Amino acid sequence: MSDTLTDGAKTDWLAWFDGSAKPNPGVCKIACILRSSDGEEFQHTSTIGHGDSSDAEYQALIMTLKLLMETIDPQATKSILIRGDSQVVIYDALNKDNGKSALLTHYREQAQHLMQTLPNLELKWIPRHKNCEADLLLRTS
């Protein structure tokens, strides 16, 4: 999997997130992995209560953004690439979803606010089979 942004620039930080609700709706779990270009890695998982899969995925994205804010040096970080396998959440957060869900508004606003505070951030949808590390972390937590 490429460690470059859409414009071809190498990224300083890569992040993957995933969320699930079992059953759907049900108990939500979230996971994320942060990895620097220097090889530093941070992992986080948590059980966050009750909701549906969109709640879990959005909360996983928000947790990822918050952890990045706590972890990175904004002055030294030139680029961040975050990947997730939820088209609903990725496209909603990027305002690419014309049918924005009113139910996701509070998550969208929080995620967009956090995204604005991070330098040169790119949020990208990937197929589920390419999000295997975050998925495995989620399933084994």
d(Cα 46, Cα 138) in Å, to the nearest integer? 9
**118 to each of 1, 2, 50, 68, 81, how far by Cα in Å?**
23, 21, 29, 8, 11
Q: How many domains does the chain have?
A: 1
Query: What is the residue range of 26's domain?
Result: 13-139
Q: Residue 83 forms beta bridges with which residues?
A: 16, 124
Cβ atoms of residues 128 and 85 within 8 Å: yes
Cβ atoms of residues 112 and 105 within 8 Å: no
48 within some domain: yes
Tokens of 36: 């620097």
Cβ atoms of residues 61 and 89 within 8 Å: yes
Cβ atoms of residues 99 and 105 within 8 Å: no
7 within some domain: no
**In this structure, what CATH number is given to the domain that contains residue 61?**
3.30.420.10
43 within some domain: yes
Q: Write out the chain's pLDDT in tens, 141 residues.
A: 456 656 556 789 999 999 999 999 999 999 999 999 999 999 999 999 999 999 999 999 999 999 999 999 888 899 999 999 999 999 999 988 666 788 899 999 999 999 999 988 999 999 999 999 999 999 898
1 within some domain: no
107 within some domain: yes
Q: Among residues 11, 33, 6, 14, which one has the least CA distance to residue 140? A: 33
70 within some domain: yes
